[in-house]
Amino acid sequence: MKAKTDIKRTVHKYDPPDSLSSVGMTMPKHLSIADAAHPFKLECGAKLTEVDVEYETYGELSEGKDNVILICHALSGDAHVAGWDAAAKGHPERKWRLTHPGWWDAVIGPGKPIDTERFFVICANVLGSCYGTTGPASIEPATGKPYGLRFPKVTVGDWVVMEKTLLERLGITRLYAVIGGSLGGQQALEWALRYPRVLGKCIIMASGPKLSAQGLGFNAVARNAIMRDVNFANGDYYSNKKGPDNGLAVARMLAHITYLSGKGMDFKFGRERLDKQEDKRQGFEAEFSVESYLNHQSKSFVERFDADSYLYITRAMDYYDAASAWGDGDLRKACRRLHAELMVVSFSSDWLYPPAEAREFVNAILAENKPVTYVEIQSESGHDAFLVDTVPVGRLLRAYLLAPGINRRSGAIV
């Protein structure tokens, strides 16, 4: 028999704001890193004359500026990684932050695995997102209207350059570590390839040097759902009454399934039905718990995410190909550039970035005699494990971050 499903929505049992181990109330910060005289150049060739970066920091920057950990967020993530957002009130699109701490609050804070009493932690919202950094919903200087699809294509490489620029403006030239999961893991890897001697450690979770054909396919279906929505208006829906909410909802339902494992879903939902009286002869409303769960997930996602941003960010994920970018298609050749110590973490039931692909990646690194640690965490949480299995993930982070570094010359060792 299946476990009884808790179809009440999960209330995350993170620490409350007053907890000793929370970073407490947080405020988003903003920095403009481009202007007409100093445009931000993108890999596609386009230039942006306005780039406003939203970021958050926790902990204190050491005098030597040698305790910085950069966190890279995933597709639907944001710069609010830990603590409770003091600015969420009055922002309907951020209202979920009133009841949820940052997305990795379980591992970041005083005494937590990424210990803010020791490290200065920073995370920036990526370019093209809808959480404060310039994106398709931002005003295009030339027209005074939201960019929509006139926003240029962005890449993981662009994000890393943006983060580097931000850090330089803050006077930070060395990183103790860069850490990311999923699309954030691609950013972390790109950091290690693009700026090999700037970071000491690089932790890549539930990610890899490229997305599979299946992953490309799922992203294509998600974008199709959005772009085929009658309210998509070719991306210019911002001043309309309704945006492509239905398409975005379908995209999220689909994506959500790919973040879970089959076994995990069987355990959590099985074939359990909703407990309601109804005439089952007709109609196709949700009858199984899993349907209701996916509906709920998509509804809350639509309230908080922008459809155009979804297009841009999934495309960046599609494009990322470390072997192409740094090794002419040869992953080993790309790995020759590496200098930071890498830790690659996969999760046994992650079928979006499966362990088999992570092992191939690790073998390419090893073949080039670069320092790498590989951990495959046994988990039924699927791709989402890096977000939800915070106990093993936290232990791993703590141990790896505190382990003595190999790269004594990198300047990145505290």
Q: What string of DSSP letters covers 297-320?
A: HHHHHHHH--HHHHHHHHHHHHH-
DSSP 8-state assignment for residue 130: S
Nearest-approach distance from CB 250 to its own copies, in angstroms: 5
Residue 232: alpha-carbon gap to chain centroid = 24
In angstroms, rounded to a whole number, what is the distance separating the alpha carbons of residues 386 and 107? 11
130 touches its own copies (CB under 8 A): no
Q: Which amino acid is at 59?
A: G
Region of 27-35, 124-132, 245-253, 372-380 interacting with its own copies (CB under 8 A): 245-253
CA atoms in the 13 A half-sphere facing the CB of 135 = 26
Q: Which stretch binds its own copies (CB under 8 A): 14-22, 29-37, 94-102, 261-269?
A: 261-269
**Residue 256 is a catalytic residue:** no
The catalytic residue among 22, 138, 182, 309 is: 182
- Among 108, 160, 179, 260, indicate the residue that binds its own copies (CB under 8 A): 260
Local structure of 137: helix, strand or coil:
coil
Catalytic residue list contains 383: yes
Beta-bridged to residue 273, according to DSSP, are: 288
- Interface of this chain with its own copies, residues 30 to 69, rule: CB under 8 A: 44-46
Which tokens sit at 381?
């949480």
Q: If binding is defined by CB under 8 A, does position 281 make contact with its own copies?
A: yes
Tell me if residue 182 is catalytic: yes
Residues between 307 and 346 with contacts to its own copies, criterion CB under 8 A: 311, 315, 318, 321, 329
Answer yes or no whether residue 367 interacts with its own copies by CB under 8 A.
no
Stretch that binds its own copies, among 29-37, 95-103, 146-154, 339-347 (CB under 8 A): 146-154
Q: Is 220 in the site for its own copies (CB under 8 A)?
A: yes
Q: Which two tokens mark 334?
A: 């790309």
Phi, psi at 400, each rounded to 5°: -70, -40
**Binding range to its own copies, per CB under 8 A, among 55-63, 168-176, 219-227, 387-395:** 219-227
What is the residue type of 73? Answer: H
One of 85, 350, 384, 389 is an active-site residue; which one? 350
Which CA distances in Å does 336 have to 71, 207, 357, 380? 24, 19, 19, 34
3-state secondary structure of 195: coil
Pairing of strands 40-41, 84-85: unpaired
Give the residue numbers marked as catalytic: 182, 350, 383
The residues that touch its own copies, with contacts defined as CB under 8 A, are 1, 44-46, 149-153, 210-214, 216-218, 220-221, 223-225, 227-231, 246-247, 249-250, 253-254, 257, 260, 262, 265-266, 268-271, 280-284, 286-288, 290-291, 294-295, 298, 311, 315, 318, 321, 329, 351, 354
